[in-house]
């Protein structure tokens, strides 16, 4: 299963590799913040009346997509490992309980 978990870790570095390829080819770094995902999918960018809250939203939307993809992949892997361990523990308890 570890090989399967590794697939969730690939999108973040893949985005960085694509950006590096673009930089090597064109000489310009192509920023890919989360807001580009919203623009590309025609999702509305959230706007609120509170200035501080809007600054937080803008900061989050300016976060590099490679970082977000890496963190989300890591979270998915952690959840899958926990689920796998719980299943393994439940199976081992079930096997020992049947012999008693």
Range of the domain at 39: 2-98
pTM over 0.85: no
- From 48, 21, 46, select the one nearest 35 (Cα to Cα): 46
Cβ distance 75 to 14 under 8 Å? no
> What total of structural domains would you count in the chain?
1
The tens digit of pLDDT for each residue in 14-33 reads 999 999 999 999 999 999 99
pLDDT-derived band of residue 92, with 50, 70 and 90 as boundaries?
A: confident
**Going by C-beta distance under 8 Å and a sequence separation of 6 or more, which residues neighbour residue 85?**
none
The helices-and-strands tally (H runs, E runs) of the chain is: 5, 0
pLDDT-derived band of residue 49, with 50, 70 and 90 as boundaries?
A: very high
């Amino acid at each position: 299963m570890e090989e399967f978990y590794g697939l969730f870790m690939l999108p973040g570095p893949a985005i960085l590799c694509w950006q590096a390829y673009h930089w090597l080819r064109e000489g310009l770094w192509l920023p890919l913040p989360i807001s580009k995902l919203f623009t590309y999918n025609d999702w509305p960018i959230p706007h609120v009346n509170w200035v501080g809250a809007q600054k937080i939203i803008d900061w989050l939307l300016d976060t590099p997509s490679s970082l977000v993809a890496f963190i989300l992949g890591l979270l998915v892997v952690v959840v899958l490992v926990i689920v796998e361990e719980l299943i393994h523990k439940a199976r081992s308890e079930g096997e020992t309980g049947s012999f008693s």
